[in-house]
């Protein structure tokens, strides 16, 4: 197995690089704090679970990963999946823990089987489609906190109380719920949300040329400023209808003890589709982040080691109450931009978050929920990739169809269905494109002399003997082309030939359907008194044909290396 990148970089590590990694790790840790809290709450779990995930997963991914600068932790892509599991009475937090561990096992297996490169073959329209769908879903989930919507609830004693609005899990149901409770709109919460958005967007631009201050992330500035502002408003003006984290969660300022969940076979079977989705999504996002980082720092990551690290992180993190984690593009780019060039920066980022969890978490209870919602609105906007969507809409219709279907299924149903259906449509589109580019031609009189001819004849054209037809297939001979070729042969007008030569010089691959159809064609031709000769069979295809006993079906002498030999055999057969 390949070594983690940390071991490779430590060979030439020095004090200068440590200084750069230290500064970058501190900054990235500060940047990761509001995101970890926001992702944890948006996923339906407590805020410290998001920070625990960033600490444990971030440490393991940097320790074992195959990239120099990757920063791991919770990301927005998992919010929809996690929320659906946690709020499902059949699964809950225990189901989330088991599903995440299962996803970790899948990722480790992918890495050990060296399948890191295979993940890269998932079509780009699918990635853009489900990413945009997740972005819209995250935006939708935050509307309740931005508008400050509430609902009435009755406790066990029969008392009616006002609680934050609880919405259904589906996209359409959420908007219908918002419409039903719009009368509970809170102007104070809305002002906090809008003010937070303005600070997050505008303040970094104003501080762009100010040393040190320009490194402070807008999300952190928004949280600090609005938290202080809300505290002042509460104390000075007695306005207490602005929801904060402390109003909804009991915050634990320590790392939780390890807890191994009880696992049953029934639970494993039910959670397998969800675990597979978490694993695939984590693999795609982490390797995409690593590829982007490679382009910036001029390096090349080890995708298999990265998958193993992601898998181990997702197997260990849930034992401490964490949620699924993967490589985070925004935090990775922050690491690069601040001088981080080795996994040491990622380890320092995890240590910084641990220190914050142990020391500063009690103060997190004062953070307004509307401010965290604003942070996630910015995250959803950055995730949406609307420029990529706009560019893809100009591409072939098949790509547009894949994009739209994946996006719609992600929003209306769930990510598991979206990825499955998107891959099926992409596979069908790929087969269709290959079929369109593969040519099948029929020749009855003369052939062009070309590079395949090894025995030069004196004439410029190769004459096809009377009663002989030559079929040429230009492209792979797989199930789509095999059926197309069979239709062409059966529907060909004119008298039946005595000899059929099939030129296979351009066939680099033949699958089981192609073999089966070719066998059927030979059998059908034999029943009609027609001899079949194969020409230009390369060594790879020839071995496959011999394993399927085509030498017995045709005769080894009728599997010819080139068209000259095939035409010679056709003349001899006609003479017989």
Least confident range of 49-53, 356-360, 439-443: 439-443
Helix axes 15-42, 343-359, angle to 10 degrees: 50
Structure confidence at residue 338 (pLDDT): 85
Cα gap 406→439, rounded to integer Å: 31
Structure confidence at residue 115 (pLDDT): 86
Cα gap 440→368, rounded to integer Å: 67
- Show the tokens assigned to 225: 């400023």
Structure confidence at residue 89 (pLDDT): 85
Stretch 102-108: mean pLDDT? 96
Type and span of the H or E element at 446: strand 446-448
Stretch 209-217: mean pLDDT? 77
Structure confidence at residue 455 (pLDDT): 40
Stretch 411-424: mean pLDDT? 81
Cα gap 193→371, rounded to integer Å: 5
Cα gap 36→357, rounded to integer Å: 11
456 versus 1: the higher-pLDDT residue is 1
Structure confidence at residue 452 (pLDDT): 46
Nearest CA to 50 out of 273, 366, 372, 277 is that of 372
Structure confidence at residue 333 (pLDDT): 87
Residue 435 pLDDT exceeds 80: no
Structure confidence at residue 275 (pLDDT): 94
Structure confidence at residue 158 (pLDDT): 75
296 in Cβ contact with 234 (< 8 Å): no
47 in Cβ contact with 41 (< 8 Å): yes
Structure confidence at residue 238 (pLDDT): 78
Structure confidence at residue 446 (pLDDT): 53
Tell me which range, 104-113, 205-214, 378-387, is most confidently predicted by mean pLDDT: 104-113
Structure confidence at residue 181 (pLDDT): 94
Residue 448 pLDDT exceeds 60: no
Give domain 439-575's CATH number out of 3.30.750.24, 3.10.129.10, 3.40.50.720, 3.30.70.3270.
3.30.750.24
Stretch 96-102: mean pLDDT? 95
pLDDT tens-place string over residues 298-328: 888 999 999 999 999 999 999 999 999 999 9
Structure confidence at residue 311 (pLDDT): 97
Close Cβ partners of 449 (under 8 Å, ≥ 6 residues apart):
456, 457, 459, 460, 461, 462
Cα gap 425→396, rounded to integer Å: 14
> In angstroms, what CA-CA distances link 480 with 189, 433, 540, 541?
58, 10, 20, 17
- Domain positions in the chain are 18-148+185-210+217-249+261-429, 439-575
Mean pLDDT of the chain: 86
% of residues, the chain, pLDDT over 70: 92
Residue 169 pLDDT exceeds 90: no
Structure confidence at residue 218 (pLDDT): 86
Stretch 27-40: mean pLDDT? 90
Burial 153-188 (b: 16+ CB within 10 A, else e): eeeeeeeeeeebbebeebbeebeebbeebeebebeb
Q: What confidence tier does 514 reach under pLDDT thresholds 50, 70, 90?
A: confident
pTM of the prediction? 0.76
Residue 213 φ then ψ, to 5°: -65, -30
Q: What confidence tier does 57 reach under pLDDT thresholds 50, 70, 90?
A: very high
Structure confidence at residue 116 (pLDDT): 83
């Amino acid at each position: 197995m390949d070594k983690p990148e940390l071991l490779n970089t430590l060979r030439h590590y020095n004090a200068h690089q440590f200084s750069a990694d230290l500064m970058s790790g501190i900054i990235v840790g500060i940047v990761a704090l509001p995101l970890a809290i926001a992702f944890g709450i948006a996923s339906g779990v407590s805020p410290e679970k998001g920070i625990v995930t960033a600490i444990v997963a971030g440490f393991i991914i940097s320790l074992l990963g195959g990239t120099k600068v990757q920063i791991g932790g919770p990301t927005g892509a998992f919010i929809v999946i996690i929320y659906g599991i946690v709020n499902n009475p059949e699964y809950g937090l225990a189901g989330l823990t088991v599903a995440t561990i299962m996803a970790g096992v899948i990722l480790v297996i992918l890495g050990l089987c060296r399948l890191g490169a295979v993940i890269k073959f998932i079509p780009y329209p699918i990635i853009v489609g489900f990413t945009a769908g997740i972005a819209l879903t995250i935006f939708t989930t935050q509307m309740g906190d931005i508008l400050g919507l509430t609902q009435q609830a009755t406790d066990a004693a029969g008392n009616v109380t006002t609680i934050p609005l609880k919405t259904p899990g589906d996209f359409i149901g959420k908007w219908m719920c918002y419409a039903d409770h719009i009368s509970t709109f809170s102007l104070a919460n809305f002002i906090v949300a809008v003010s937070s958005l303005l600070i997050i967007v505008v303040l970094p631009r104003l501080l762009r040329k100010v040393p040190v201050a320009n490194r402070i992330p807008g999300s952190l500035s928004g949280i600090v400023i609005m938290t202080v502002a809300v505290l002042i408003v509460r104390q000075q003006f007695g306005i207490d209808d602005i929801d904060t984290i402390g109003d909804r969660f009991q915050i634990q300022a320590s790392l939780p003890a390890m807890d191994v969940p009880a696992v049953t076979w029934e639970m494993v079977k039910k959670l397998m589709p969800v675990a597979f989705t978490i694993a695939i999504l984590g693999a795609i996002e982490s390797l995409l982040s690593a590829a982007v980082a490679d382009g910036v720092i001029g390096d090349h990551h080890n995708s298999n080691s990265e998958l193993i690290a992601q898998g181990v992180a997702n197997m260990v993190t849930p034992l401490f109450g964490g949620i699924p984690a993967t490589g985070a593009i925004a935090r990775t780019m922050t690491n690069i931009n601040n001088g981080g060039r080795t996994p040491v920066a990622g380890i320092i980022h995890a240590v910084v978050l641990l220190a914050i969890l142990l020391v500063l978490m009690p103060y997190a209870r004062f953070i307004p929920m509307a401010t965290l919602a604003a942070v996630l609105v910015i995250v959803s906007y950055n995730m949406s990739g609307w420029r990529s969507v706009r560019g893809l809409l100009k591409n072939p219709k098949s790509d547009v169809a894949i994009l739209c279907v994946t996006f719609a299924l992600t929003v209306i149903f769930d990510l598991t269905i979206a990825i499955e259906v998107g891959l099926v449509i992409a596979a069908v589109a790929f087969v269709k494109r290959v079929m369109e580019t593969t040519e099948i031609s029929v020749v009855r009189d003369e052939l062009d002399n070309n590079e395949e001819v090894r025995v030069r004849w004196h004439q410029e054209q190769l004459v096809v003997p009377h009663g002989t037809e030559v079929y040429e297939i230009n492209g792979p001979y797989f199930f789509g082309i095999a059926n197309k070729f069979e239709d062409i042969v059966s529907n060909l007008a004119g008298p039946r030939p005595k000899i059929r030569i099939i030129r296979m010089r351009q066939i680099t691959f033949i699958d089981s359907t192609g073999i089966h159809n070719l066998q059927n064609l030979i059998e059908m031709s034999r029943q009609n008194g027609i001899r079949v000769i194969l020409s230009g069979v390369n060594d790879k295809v020839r071995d496959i044909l011999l394993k399927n006993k085509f030498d017995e079906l045709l005769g080894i002498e009728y599997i010819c290396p080139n068209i000259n030999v095939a035409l010679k055999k056709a003349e001899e057969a006609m003479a017989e």
